[in-house]
Structure formats: C-alpha cells, structure tokens
Structure 1
Amino acid sequence: MNEKIDFVVTYLDGADPAWIKERDEHRYLQAKGTQHENGNSRYRNMENFHFFLRAIEKYAPWVNKIHVVTWGHTPEWLNTKHPKINVVNHKDFIPEEYLPTFNSNAIEFSFDKIPGISEHFVNFNDDMFLNAPMAPTDFFEKGLPRLQIMYAPFMPSDALFSNNILALNKVVSSKYLINKKMFSLKNGLFATLSNIYLLPMLRYYGKFIGFREDHLPAPHTKSIYAKLRESLPEYFDFVGKSKFRNSQDIKSVSHWLMLDYARATNQFLPTNSFTFGKLVNLSTSINFELLFKSKYKVLCLEDGDFIDENEFYEIVSIMNDAFLKKFPNKSVFEK
C-alpha cells in the first residue's frame, strides 16, 4: 500500500488545574452519563506517553504523521518541532459551538476534520501501545481497513454498541449482511464459527445484530466519516453537543460506528484481532515484563473504576519500570 497512514492519539493532563476548573464548571451535565463513562479513571494520567512514542519510533517508523490531540496542554518534553508531530488543539478542528468538551466520543467524531490528516488514519487512545514490529498492512491493505468481522448480538447493558447498530440499520441495506468475508478463517477460527452459528438469526431478522468490537487501535478513513456525517447528521450533532459521555440517549454513538459501517458495506479486509492485540485491565497481579514479551503486536492497558488511587499509582509505577526496560532510550519525538 502506497497511501500515507497517520496516527491520531488523544493526550490529556488530568492534573492541569485550568482543565479541572473548566471541567468542573460543566460537571452538572455529568448526571446524564454513568460513573464509568465520566469517573475520575477517565482522566487519570499514567505518565507514560513518552513510551507510546518510543514504541512508534521502534515498531512503526513508516508512520506519516502523529497527530497529538489536546485540550491545550502538551508534555514539556515533547519535541513539537519534529516534522512527524502535529499538536492539535480541540479548537483547531472541533466546531466552536461544541467546545469545551470532555467527551472522548465528541472529540473522535471530528478527527476527520483535523487539518492535513491523511485519508487513512489510525485512532489510538493514550493507553494503547505498540508491542512488536508493525507493517502498514496491519492496519490497511489495498486501501481498506483491516477489521475482524464477528457477529455478536449486543446486550442491553452495552448501550453504545446497541446505539451504533440501531443507527447503522437506519442507513445501510442488508446487501452484505451475509457475505464470504464472515466465513474467512482470517478472522480467526472462533469468530468464523460464531458467524456460522448466528447465520440463522441473521437470515431471520434480515438486519445487522451487532459486531464484536475491539478495544484496540482503530483504522479509519475520512471517506467513511464523511459518508456517515452526511447520512446521520443528527447523531453527529448530538454527540458533538454532549459535553460528557452519555450512552443513555439513543443518539449517543461512538467511533466504532465507523468501523461497523465499514463491515456492513464490505469496505474492509478480515483480520484476526484475537492474535493481533489484547485488552488488559490493570491490576496488581500483572507481570508487565512478561506481558511486554508476549506475541501481541498491540496492548491496551486500561485503567478502571475499580482501582483506587493508591493502588492505581502503585500499578503504574511497576508498569512504567517495565516500560523503561523495554524502551530505555529517548525517541526523536522527545527533546
């Protein structure tokens, strides 16, 4: 693939007094969301963003640009003059009427508006780290995103996922509801067998029933963003206006909607995300050095509401010591 591929990552300094003041001034809106969506764990800083960039330098030197999306603060050590680093303030690409925002979904819904972003880009959270050498074809091939297709009926508790699928069925026909890619072993044996098992349900309902989503870096195209913004303007407007995450409203959707659209319209190539990456919930039982030697190309090291402050910082200290052993040298993205 000759197309340029950009990485986009959201950076937040949750300890910035100015940011905290502005967030708290709008906190009254939080009542519409859940504690999981807007709790303090959403904003805690693990102080390891430099390892995120060291991993990119080591494992994906082919990346075109790294767009660091920020409320206004940046790490003092970041080499903002490096030609591959593009620091982007929310006000540079999010419509003024939606600002300020503390809603990651609202931020991600405007990524295609980042000035100069390439047609093909990968959305990272700042808790996602490359763990092994990557190729551009791990994310895109023949101009199409690499995605696993595994049908999975959404549960009522998965509000964002159900909202995504309800919105998807409004704008996509069932033309590709059953297609040969869902039977490809490139999805992984378990995913393929799951699709076969759910075939009668798909035939009966004749609609998309939900996809298993990966909490891993997400390959997107500006074209799909534009198509969905045109098809579902009221959803984009609702998400944009939501200062905090709010899955309780049916119009509250996430960037996974774009991935679902790619699957539903056959604009993807299958891949086995089970072997590609792993979501790890932080805990005191994790052997990080062993984890960092694993076969997974990507790791998502997720903070959770169940970890109290003292335990969280203890875990982070152990994790960052392991990161330092894996990536001991400064990258070109550091001063």
Structure 2
Amino acid sequence: MDKIDIVVSWLDDSDPEWKHEFNKYKGITNVEINNDSANNEARFRDYNTFKYWFRAIEKNAPWVNKIFLVTWGHYPEWLNLENPKLVLVKHSDFIPKEYLPTFSSSTIALNLHRIVGLSETFVYFNDDMFLLNLTEPTDFFKGGVPCDMLTLIPAQSYEEFNHFAINNMQLIHKEFSKKDILKRNLRKMINLKTSIPYLGTTLLQLPYPNISDILHFHLSTPLNISTYELLWEKHFSQFDKACRSRFRDVRDVTDWYIRMYSLCSGNFVPKNMHKFGRIINIKNAHGNFEKILDSKLKEVCLNDSVDMEETEFTETMKQMQQAFELKFPKKSTFEIEEGF
C-alpha cells in the first residue's frame, strides 16, 4: 500500500505577532476587492478544539504515515513535538518568498506540493474537519487514485464565493468540453451506489450545453502531488496571480480547482460523500454537538459562521469542547504528558 500522509493547516489568531502582520497588510490591501466575508476575521478564529482533531486522527486513522502541520510559525503549547509522526511546517518552509506573507488559505493550499517529504498521496484537512469514526486508507485512495464524487450543480449564490466558482469553472472549460467530461465520467456520476442523494441534481444538469458548477463538499480532500505539478505547469500564470494576493481575491482561481480538475479528468474512484461526511454550520448546531459527534458519519466539518457575535461564539465553543471531551476523552500521543 502506498504511504498516505495528512496535511492540516492551523492558525493561532491570538498570536500578537501574527495579528500585527495581519492588520498591517489588511490596511494596505484593496478593500473593495478583498475585504469581504471571505477574509472576515471570523474565518481566522481558533476553536480551541485542535487537540481533539489529533485524538480523532490517532483513533480513526491509525494507518496515516505522517501528519504535516502547516502554520504561520506557531504551534499549540500542548503539542508533543517529539511524536515521530508529526512534521512541523512553517509557511516560509514551502511557500515561495514572493508570495509571503500570506493570509489566503488558497495560497497555502496551492503550494502544498512543495512541502519537503510529503507523499504523492495525501489528504488535506482544515482544522475544523474531524474524523468521527474509524476510517480505512481506501476511504481516501484506491490504487493511488483519490476517492471522491463528481456532482454537477447549477450556479450557486455564495456571495463572493460564487466568483471563485466561476473563476475555477472558466479554467475547467478551457481544459474540457462538457462532452469530454461526460464521456470520461458518466458511469461514475450515474451510480446508484455512490451518487445518491445527488443523482437527481446531476441529471437535471445534463441537458444544458455547459457545466455551471461542481459540488464542493467542504470535507478533507485526497490529492496527488503529481496533479499539482501538472497544473502548475499548465496554469502557472493563474496560480501565480492567485498566490500573489495577500488575501483571497474574488478575481482569482482557488485551490478547489485542483480537485475539480481531478474529477473532470476522471482521476477519481467514486465514493458516496453523503454517507461519508457532512458540513454543519456551528451556528445551526447550537445545543446539538453531542448528537452530531455520535453520528455514523466518518467525518464532519464544523464550519464557523461569520455572522456570529463573539458572545454567541464563546458559548458555542464551550458546548462544542464539552461534546468533544465526551467523544474523545483519551489524550493522544500528540499531546505532551502532564508535568512536562
């Protein structure tokens, strides 16, 4: 079996040095283009649940080879730096200096293939994506090919995120015709075992001349380094432009394009994403975290809400941390022992 690594990005938004740098560059960036909810400070908030992320990985993905923790340069004080599976990676260790400093998650994700020692097959997590139940390597890769789901959807109203989808799809249309995508993937897309409950959504899009958008599940993403290298060669100018934006810019492509390209090219094994995991807005999960964490899903993304007031966020975090402590009470080997 090929080695499978995990890459996870994490930020300590309370770090005074990071906050100083963030505010410095936010003040000199084009506000009209970049100062929207995609760059809202709420998107940088730390849940204080990262230790449970490690507990979940150790319990539910024991097969993982290495965990590459990508940060601005800080790390949690409870983290066991001596764990042999842990590799600390600063932005400056792998992101070209002309793109730094960056406050764009897309810039970070678009350069993951540059991380020294990272395996060809890896799974990319955000720190709000948690494994709830036991997984197997074949949940993510089969024969080195990502396990994923291609679902066609109409153009969505994500506010500024719709711009990102349009930018990505414009690049997809330059690579593939709809006829080509269907020829490569129709059997994978129309599959009663793996396509439910999104099959109807895909079928409704088939009569239209072009593909409007592809469903993004907001869960961990299995990726190939070779795909990154191919796409950087194909689309250097677009990727370079996106990475030079200090903050996410609605005129740029995003790292989602890499997954979209893999799907459209047929480089994926069908997987029922609806059964595998779900994204849940923490604002809507208030009071239900224990039930959510006890579900049969293998993964959940507990996504922050930019319109949550700080007091509501604090109370929600308290509930979420209590639920995680019940779900994962045992310390992982990624945490230092008490007294050290």
TM-score bracket for this pair, using the shorter chain length: over 0.9
* d(CA) in 2 for partners of 1:265, 1:225: 14
2:152 aligned counterpart, secondary structure: coil
Residue 161 in structure 1 maps to residue 162 in structure 2 = no
Matched residue count: 327
Check conservation: 1:129, 1:298, Cα contact below 8 A: yes
2:148·2:269 contact (CA, 8 Å) conserved in 1? yes
What is the percentage of aligned positions where both structures have the same residue?
Answer: 39
- Partner residue of 1:198 out of 178, 185, 205: 205
Segment of structure 1 superposing worse, 23-32 or 72-81: 23-32
| SS of residue in 2 equivalent to 1:67 | strand
Q: Corresponding residue for 1:122?
A: 123
- Provide the C-alpha distance between the structure 2 equivalents of 1:267 and 1:325, rounded to a whole number of angstroms: 39
Offset at residue 30 of structure 1 (A): 5.5
Corresponding residue of 1:214: 217
- Residue of structure 2 in register with 1:9 after alignment: 8
Structure 2 unpaired stretches of 5+: none
What amino acid is aligned across from residue 177 of structure 1 in structure 2? L
Per the alignment, residue 278 of structure 1 pairs with 278
Aligned AA (2:265)? T
Taking structure 2 as the reference length, what is the TM-score of the superposition? 0.93
| 1:80-159 correspondence to structure 2 within 5 Å | 80-155=81-156, 157=159, 158-159=162-163
Q: 2:229 aligns with which of 223, 226, 229?
A: 226
Cα-to-partner distance string for 1:272-295 (whole Å, 9 max, x where unaligned): 111111111112633111111111
CA distance in 2, matches of 1:317, 1:285: 10
Give, as a single letter, the amino acid of the residue that structure 2 aligns with 1:220.
L
* Structure 1 residue 153: Cα displacement: 2.4
Over the aligned positions, Cα root-mean-square deviation in angstroms equals 1.4
Query: Does residue 180 of structure 2 align to residue 175 of structure 1?
Result: yes
Match of residue 269 from structure 1 = 269
Deviation at residue 77 of structure 1 after TM alignment: 1.2
2:247 corresponds to? 244
Deviation at 1:332, TM superposition (A): 0.6
1:164–1:332 CA distance, 2 compared to 1 (3 A)? same
Q: Which moved more, 1:325-334 or 1:151-160?
A: 151-160
> How far does residue 149 in structure 1 lie from its aligned partner after superposition?
1.1
| One-letter identity of the residue aligned with 1:130 | L
Partner of 1:258: 258
Residues 213, 83 of structure 1: alpha-carbon distance in 2 compared, 3 angstrom cutoff: same
Q: In 1, are the aligned partners of 2:146 and 2:267 still within 8 Å (CA)?
A: yes
Whole-Å separation in 2 of the counterparts to 1:308 and 1:35? 17
Query: Following the alignment from structure 2 to structure 1, what is the Cα–Cα distance between the partners of residues 165 and 207?
Result: 21
- C-alpha separation in 1, matches of 2:104 and 2:176: 27
Partners of 1:4 and 1:213 in 2: CA distance = 26
Counterparts of 2:182 and 2:173 in 1: how far apart (Å)? 11
Residue 171 (structure 1) shift: 2.5
Q: TM-score, normalised by structure 1?
A: 0.94
Give SS of 1:310's match.
helix
The Cα offsets for residues 70-102 of structure 1, whole Å up to 9 and x where unpaired, read as 001011111112111000000110000111001
**Structural mapping, 1:280-319, within 5 Å:** 280-283=280-283, 285-319=286-320
Whole-angstrom distance in 1 between the partners of 2:76 and 2:15: 11
| Inter-CA distance 85–94: structure 2 relative to 1 (3 Å threshold) | same
Give the direction of change, closer, same or farther, for the CA distance of 1:109–1:41 in structure 2 (3 Å limit). Answer: same
CA distance in 2, matches of 1:310, 1:11: 23
Q: Distance in 1 between matches of 2:136 and 2:227?
A: 23
**Structure 1 Cα separation of the partners of residues 227 and 287 of structure 2:** 38
Tell me, what secondary structure is at the counterpart of 2:213?
Answer: coil
Aligned-partner residue type, residue 182 of structure 2:
L
**Alignment check: 8 A CA contact 2:205 2:211 kept:** no
Give unmatched runs, 5+ long, in structure 1.
none
Distance 1:285 1:82 in 2: 34
- Cα offset for 1:68? 0.3
Letter of the 2:3 partner, please give it.
K
Q: Which amino acid aligns with 2:10?
A: Y
Task: Say whether 1:25 aligns with 2:24.
Answer: yes
